[in-house]
Every structure is written in C-alpha cells, then in structure tokens.
Amino acid sequence: MAAAVQPVLETTANVLEVRDLSVQFRTPKGPVMALRKVSVAVPRGSIVGLVGESGSGKSTLALAVMRLMPANATITEGSLRFAGRELLTLPALEMQRLRGDRLSMVFQDPMTSLNPVRSVGMQMVDIQYRDRQMSQADKRRRAADMLRGSASRIPSISSTGTRTSSPAACDSASRLPWASWRNPSSSSPTSPLQPWM
C-alpha cells in the first residue's frame, strides 16, 4: 500500500492570494457574472473579514477558493493561490487532500450544518476522522480544547465526556463552527442542541 503524497506548500507572505477572479453562472436566461476581477490577499497569521451585501459574491468567492462551486459555475479568469500553489490547476486528488487538512470552510448557518440528534462533542470528535493515530479519548480532549479556546464561557466536561445539557447550549451552535475552523483537520462543520458528548 503506497503512502499518500502530500502536496508541497511554500511559505509565502500571503497564505491566500486571489487575483482578478471572475466567476460566471450559466442560467436559462443566459450567463450571469457573479464575480468580476476580484482580488483579495490574506497575509500569513492574519484574520481577514469579507463584508458585503446579500448577493454580492462572498459565498461564491469562498466556494471558488475551496473549488466547491456548482456545476453551472465557471471561473472565467483569475488566479487562486494558497501557500504558493495555484489551486485552479491543482489535480483533484491534491485539492481533496488540502480540503479539511489545510483549507476549511465554515458554512453560514450552524443550525443547518449541525446534526440536532447528536451532541456537539460527538460531532467535534467525528470531524477528526482523518487523525487515525489519535485515540477516541484524545479526540474528545482535543474537541473540548477547541471549544474552550473559542469562547470565554464553556462548561466543564466530565472525565467521561458525557455532559448532555448546559446553560451554554444556546450559544454552542455559533461556537462550534468557529472551533471547527480553528482545527485544520476538520473537513466539515458540525449540533447545537446538546453541546457535549
């Protein structure tokens, strides 16, 4: 069994560089330009916020960076560079390895991204599925650490990790995707109703 080849990434001043990106959607009424020559740079170690009106293309830009655009979307021009690598020409398998390991997307509505039947803690363990060398106990500790690091108030977790209710439950829906984003091994955001395992 051959070992998976990890994409080689450079250390650059900007971890993400979007240059002159244009995205077009095919519709029954003809093509619609969703993005026109958009350029954004995210310096290494920085947090950059993207602000705009509804329908201005924020989600389209994020989906383009992740290469998760719908079938009727086409990037007509531009460049997407992550850690020095051009994402638009990256083979699909290498792009898949980057997603969830080095690139993650936090979707807008945690109530639809999360499973209300399962606890947040269990879902935080689930998103670590790529870390096969870690034990379940280590994954539970890591999940609790991610949540603690993303909020000032977090209930203490029992040694078995079975807490099922908490005053912070309402707030956990917004905290969880942030914690998922902080964990580069997560590939999918995850439920707000029960914050712990």
Task: Please state the rounded mean pLDDT for residues 74-101.
Answer: 91
Q: Mean pLDDT in the chain?
A: 74
pLDDT in tens, 21-68: 999 999 999 999 999 999 999 998 888 888 889 889 999 999 999 999
Higher pLDDT, 126 or 106: 126
* End-to-end alpha carbon distance in the chain: 35
What are the start-end ranges of the E strands in the chain? 14-27, 30-43, 73-82, 85-86
Question: Residues, the chain, total?
Answer: 197
Where residue 163 falls among pLDDT bands split at 50, 70, 90?
A: very low
Q: What is the DSSP letter of 87?
A: G
Poorest-pLDDT segment among 6-15, 53-62, 72-81, 146-155: 146-155
Other beta carbons within 10 Å of 9 = 13
Beta bridge partners of 17: 41, 81
82 touches 98 (CB < 8 A): yes
* Residue 99, pLDDT score: 83
Return the domain boundaries, the chain.
Answer: 14-98, 110-182
Distance CA 177, CA 187 (A): 11
Give the rounded percent of residues in the chain with a pLDDT score beyond 90. Answer: 33
Global pTM reads 0.58
Mean pLDDT of 111-123: 75
Compare 168 and 95 and report the one with higher pLDDT.
Answer: 95
SS3 180: helix
Contact 41, 16 (CB under 8 A): yes
Q: What average pLDDT does the segment 143-151 reach?
A: 75
Dihedrals φ, ψ of 99, to 5°?
-65, 125
3-16 residue pLDDT tens? 444 444 556 689 99
Q: How far apart are CA 193 and CA 170, in angstroms?
A: 7
> What is the C-alpha separation between 65 and 92, in angstroms, rounded?
13
pLDDT at 194 over 80: no
CATH number of 14-98: 3.40.50.300
Is residue 91 predicted with pLDDT exceeding 90? yes
Confidence tier at 183 by pLDDT (50, 70, 90): very low
